[in-house]
Amino acid sequence: MDIKRLTRGEMIAGVAGIALIVITVIPLWGSVSVGGGGLSIGGQGLSEPDYSFGLWEAGVFGILPKLAGFVGLFTVILVLVQATGATRPIPPVTYLGLGLTATLLMLMGVAVGPSLQGGLGGVVKLTRGPLLYAGAVLCAVILFGGWLHLRGEDTDFGNRSAAPPPM
Query: Residue 106 and residue 113: Cα distance in Å, rounded?
Result: 10
- Closest alpha carbon to 73 in 19, 132, 134, 146: 19
Look up residue 46 and give its amino acid. L
Give the predicted TM-score (pTM) of the model. Answer: 0.76
Query: Residue 34 and residue 139: Cα distance in Å, rounded?
Result: 31
- Closest alpha carbon to 6 in 69, 86, 72, 68: 86
- Give the HSE-up count for residue 97: Cα atoms under 13 Å, Cβ half-sphere: 7
CA distances to 69, 113, 132 from 144, rounded to whole Å, are 17, 24, 19
pLDDT, one tens digit per residue, over 6-23 is: 888 999 999 999 999 999
pLDDT, one tens digit per residue, over 48-92 is: 557 777 787 766 677 888 899 899 999 999 999 888 887 888 888
List domains and CATH numbers for the chain.
Answer: 3-152 (1.20.140)
pLDDT-derived band at 30 (thresholds 50, 70, 90) equals: confident
